[in-house]
Structure formats: C-alpha cells, structure tokens
Structure 1
C-alpha cells in the first residue's frame, strides 16, 4: 500500500495542527536515533512496540504518525518489513509505530487470547505516551494494518475513545469478522465528528486467507465492511459506490469510491484482480 493513498484520503479529516507535550524535547535516550527504528516496551505494561523516527525529525515541528498493525500469527518486526513505513522512499517525514499483539492476534480475531487483552487501551496509552515524548501532529495520526491487523484498524475506528484520535484508517487484505457481540469490542459506535471517518481498503480477488466475498459465517464480505463505513459517514445503509472505475489494466485494478454527506471519496476500495493475501506494492517493485 502506498502511503500516498492514505494521505490523500486523510486530507478529508484535517482538523488543524496541534502540538503535543513532547514538542521541544530531545528524543529520549532509549528511543532510536533519527533515521532508525528500535523495539521498545510501553512503560508500566507488558506490551511491546517498534518505533521508527525519520531522519529529518525536528523536535519543534509537529510530525505525522503512522500505526501499522501486523496480521494473525505475525509480529511487529515482520510488519515493519512488510509495510515499508520505515523506508524513507515511501515515508520520508513520518513517525512509524508497529505495535505487537498478545499471542499473535489482535482483538478483532476470534483466535485472540481467551483473556481478551485490552488492545484498545494499549493503543490509546501508546499514543498518549508518544505525544508526551515526541513532537506529534495530532491531526495527522493514521492507522493501517494487514489481515487481522486490518480488521483491528476498523475496531479502532469504531471505538469512540481511541478512534477519535486518528485521522484516517486503511486495511490491506482485511480479515473481517462480526465483532458486535465480541467481548472487549461491541457494536461499532464511533464518536461523531464533522470530518467523518475516512476508510480505505485494498483486497485481492483470489485471497484464500481472507476471501474478498467472505467465508461461510466466519469472515465478512469486503463489500459489507465498505457499506458499513459508508453508512457511518452518512451515505445510508447498503449505499452503492459513487464511482467505480478501472485504473489499471494488467493486472486489472478497480477503484470504487463513496461520496457521503458532502465528503468526496470518504470511503475507498481497490480491488486487485489476481492478487492473493498480499500487501500491494508499486508497479515494478518486488
């Protein structure tokens, strides 16, 4: 996934730059130096994450932040390598954070630890910690994830407390489950905000891990998720895309977009013909 896709979507949610308590402070000694990444633990907890700070980080300049959530049975190190959010070619200016799940699964998955770890509190606390220690632009905090991590991104967006702190949400090959009755998740009830909830999803047509059309009663069809977010943004139930066009012929890639409540392209989807359970990359890149 190209960060440009998420950024273009996120412009719909811009609410103005707001400095955090970490502005003006030197990078903490335990953090990675600018231009590198490091695995860390959230203070006073057993939760881990990996942090990347861009080479051009300025302690006096509010900086965007990208959260990137790994898939089921994966981890933060693999997600950093997969998403390339620490690669200055794709992300020259933003802080990247790769949280680690408990036992390999995020809260949105039925396979998450039976103790139901409070991943939402973890992300809320982690973002607060980042704001206290680094100079962050609170209007440009984004959430993205692969597979189970993509499903968890939607869970974050649905939470009025944590979701309201993020500007936009993106999922790659999302594994979508009905979480309304899941302990620790509940029905989707995002906080109301004028700028809406920008939501972006990429999916391959031959994905057998998280099939694009769903899987029995286990995984939801992608269209159901997209229509849910269109409804949350004011389009009404079962709204059809405002536009649906072919943007690439070989392989065939289609782009669907929903305009809702005066917000153009607030929900978007890229359907990749022939792609499986993978993270899309620019044409010509392996």
Structure 2
C-alpha cells in the first residue's frame, strides 16, 4: 500500500512582491524557542538552518537539533527517553546528537506526557502513555513530527523512531498506531506495549530490538521481537550478525522487504550504553533505518 503525503501551497498575490518575500522569509526562519502552537509550513519554503531549541505542543516540550551543513531535505529521528527520565538526559546518554551531526540528519527528543514522578527535585522527569486506548502521547508525537516538517526540510520517506525502556514501549505503540507516517523503528531495553489494537491497519515495517545479558527487561524485549515478527510475517531463517560485544545478533527477512533485527550484548545492564557498545547500537540502528525508507 502506498501512502501519499499532501502538501499545501503558499498563495502568491500578483504584483505584491514585497508581501510575498516577507511571507517566504517568515516560513524559512525557525520559530523562537518556546513557541506553543505549531504553525503550518510549506515543503518548498522549509529551513536548512542549524537549530538547537526547545519547542512546545500544547505545553508539552520537545528538543529539536538540526545540524549544520544540510544541503537538502534530511532524515528525521525522534528519540524517546525512558520512564522517569527527560529529553536532556536521554540526549546526553544516547549520543544521537553528535552522531546526527556526522550523518546529517535531524533529531528530536520529546518529553513524555505522564507526570508520574513525585519528587520536587525532578520536575522534568516523565514517562509515556504507551497503553492502547490512550492516544495522548500518540497524538503528541505525531504533532511533533508535523511541527518539524512544517518548518525544517525533512525527507518524509525517512522519519524514524527509537526509544529506551518505557520509551521503547512507546515506540512499540507508535509502530502499531502510526505506521503509515513512519519508516522504521528501534528500541533499546524496551518491550511490547501489549500488541497492536484490533482493527488498526499496520504497515509491514522494519524494527530493531536491542538488549543486554544483564538487562532486567531482556525477556520482554525478546518477547516483543517475537510478537513483531508474527505481526508483519517474518521467516525463521535468520542471517547472523556480529559486532563489538554482541552475544547474539540476527536479522530476519519479513514480508514486503521488511527486516526484524534482534541484538543482545554481553553483560551490560538496563541503561543506554556508552563507549564502543553505544557506538555499535547507534551504527546498527542507523543502518537499519537507512535501508528501510517508506516505500
């Protein structure tokens, strides 16, 4: 099934050159940090300007990082923090921002909508409404993506989602609830959100599942990868993968050209890894993403 994105056109008033130029300039400059209401943008008047800002959708924030040196519409990665965490912490731990600067893609770090941390010293820590039947964070993330597309030059066929822990569960939910808009997914130390809702069409898309031997969510992550393989129709004959500190690595061929990746690292715990292991996680996730744009 093909999914076609419709773009709006900016009207031009004949003879009013000054007004048209002002309108185009307004569309090409990113909104100031703290803008609360996303404004409609135009695909032909998007910005390639480097940006580091915090934006808000109905009071719920996300960080936007646009690297310097973009010359064309870029891929977008939306990366979700774990439960009881926040976008800034996840940005530092995941290492996606410097990686995105090297690979020339845009990365965004939204904040979960569930305020479940009763600690005045942690005012920014949140979790995700990942459960079926609650669309609060599903709709929020779709609005984040629309807001970014409306202002910066995004390759609509290359919008990806990754998540850590509870953010991995939210990633699982989005794979079911928003598969037409998103190209591929990956999680580290996450798990299933409970399975796709009945009656919701799900596109057969690629998904990477990453964990470590001492991660307490290893079993749920393994179960989630089995569940997704069943959902999109994957074969059992896997290609073996290797990498730094990889204990198990498999890539399963699935229907319509999709892949499911299972990758378990030696030792290690629940936190997003650093060092050589963190580099391998980013490299392998990004390889999966690059190989699987929207059709």
The structure with more radius of gyration: 2
Q: 1:145 to 1:228 in 2, by over 3 A?
A: same
Alignment correspondent of 2:224: 225
Deviation at 1:21, TM superposition (A): 7.1
Q: Does 1:64 align with 2:69?
A: no
Q: Does 1:258 align with 2:252?
A: yes
Q: 1:21 to 1:68 in 2, by over 3 A?
A: farther
Q: Does 1:275 align with 2:293?
A: no
Cα distance in 2 for partners of 1:200, 1:84 equals 18
Alignment correspondent of 1:243: 238
Alignment correspondent of 1:217: none
Q: Does 1:140 align with 2:162?
A: no
Q: Give the TM-score, by structure 1 length.
A: 0.72
Q: 1:89 to 1:154 in 2, by over 3 A?
A: closer
Alignment correspondent of 1:6: none
Q: Comparing both chains, which one has the higher relative contact order based on Cα–Cα distances under 8 Å and sequence gaps of 6 or more?
A: 1
Deviation at 1:124, TM superposition (A): 1.3
Alignment correspondent of 1:202: 210
Instruction: Give the secondary structure class of the aligned counterpart of 2:270.
Output: coil
Deviations 1:102-159 (A, max 9, x none): 211111269xxxx956101111112112121111110000000100001111100101
Alignment correspondent of 1:174: 190
Name whichever structure is richer in helix by fraction.
2
Cα distance in 2 for partners of 1:257, 1:140 equals 21
Q: 1:246 to 1:167 in 2, by over 3 A?
A: closer
Q: Give the TM-score, by structure 2 length.
A: 0.70
Deviations 1:14-69 (A, max 9, x none): 99999887999423241599445222212xx12110010111134xx211101000
Cα distance in 1 for partners of 2:31, 2:159 equals 23
Q: 1:232 to 1:94 in 2, by over 3 A?
A: same
Q: 1:284 to 1:118 in 2, by over 3 A?
A: closer
State how 1:1-286 maps to structure 2 within 5 Å: 25-30=27-32, 34-42=49-57, 45-58=58-71, 61-88=72-99, 91-102=102-113, 103=115, 104-108=126-130, 118-159=136-177, 162-178=178-194, 186-187=197-198, 189-192=200-203, 196-208=204-216, 210=217, 212-213=218-219, 221-235=220-234, 240=236, 242-243=237-238, 245=240, 247-248=242-243, 251-261=245-255, 263=257, 266-281=259-274, 283=276
Cα distance in 2 for partners of 1:204, 1:188 equals 34
Cα distance in 2 for partners of 1:234, 1:80 equals 33
